[in-house]
Amino acid sequence: MSKENIVFLTGGSAGLGKATAELLMRNGYTVYSASRRLAERQEDPNHQGKIIPLQMDVTDTHSIATAVAEVMEKEGRIDILICNAGNGIAGAIEDTSAEEAKFQFETNFFGTVNVVHEILPIMRKQMKGKIITTSSVAGFIPIPYQGFYSASKAAVKIFTQTLSIEMKPFNVQCCCVMPGDAKTEFTQSRKFTQASQAPESVYTEKMNKAVGIMAHDEQNGMLPVEISKAILTQIRKKKMSAVSIPGIKYKVISFAFRLVPNKFLLFVVDKLYS
């Protein structure tokens, strides 16, 4: 086990974040689990791993600075950053206000940006570090009636890849993990835009059907621990992959979607969710 085992993780109180924190703990890592709803403090005496909860909001730069300062005061370093905090909003593009679209990006994209901005100077001065961001296969497959979610996840992917180039001289590696459907609390916590719930919306029927199909796929999808294993694999690699897609099924889908013309891709996605 490497001594580079201090992890700063966001969105760690539930779902994939919680599963990742617990897996890392069982493998000897000290995980500072940051979330708005405090995670549970845990210790694994057999492997000397632990989860230390931090109350933090990725959209609040002051709370981020406070949480990072607490870790630095206790540990003096941060070896691994995992940006996992996220949420989902559903509604046709026309039924999504600018404020609602911004809400989606504030957590999924700018939340990642905020945390990375706070931790980059630390890793740059250390001349080492690993940054893992959580995107989604929705970042390359446009999901109807969840267009702003897809757009935010696509933004995370491009952001991470650009960061990888810029941080190479400082020996800081970056990996974007892009899971497919996963069985987590994300399904139940998905929000709907206000206009999408109005009786006069021309999109509601189709939106409800599409989101219902997505929810079914999620609840029959990968378990969070399977995705967290892919994250642990990347952490343990001497050289992380630029992009990691957990699960053979989604690797095949990703490969296939890169080969087919966009017109056919959009046709297939339309049929899947209608």
H/E/C letters for each residue in 17-79?
A: HHHHHHHHHHCCCEEEEEECCCCCCEEECCCCEEEEEEECCCCCHHHHHHHHHHHHHHHCCCC
Per annotation, catalytic residue among 32, 145, 149, 250: 149
Annotation marks residue 153 as catalytic: yes
Per annotation, catalytic residue among 13, 136, 196, 228: 13
As a whole number of angstroms, the distance between CA 83 and CA 139 comes to: 16
Annotation marks residue 29 as catalytic: no
CB 192 within 8 A of CB 89: yes
Per annotation, catalytic residue among 18, 32, 130, 135: 135
H or E element, residue 176: strand 172-177
Annotation marks residue 2 as catalytic: no
Per annotation, catalytic residue among 18, 130, 153, 157: 153
Look at residues 85, 100, 113, 78 and name the one whose alpha carbon lies nearest to residue 7. 78
- Give 85: exposed, middle or buried? Use CB within 10 Å, 0-12, 13-18, 19+: buried
Pairing, β 89-90 against β 191-192: parallel
Look at residues 154, 153, 176 and name the one whose alpha carbon lies nearest to residue 165. 176
User: Alpha-carbon Rg of the chain, whole angstroms?
Assistant: 19
As a whole number of angstroms, the distance between CA 146 and CA 96 comes to: 10
Annotation marks residue 97 as catalytic: no
Which residues are identified as catalytic?
13, 135, 149, 153
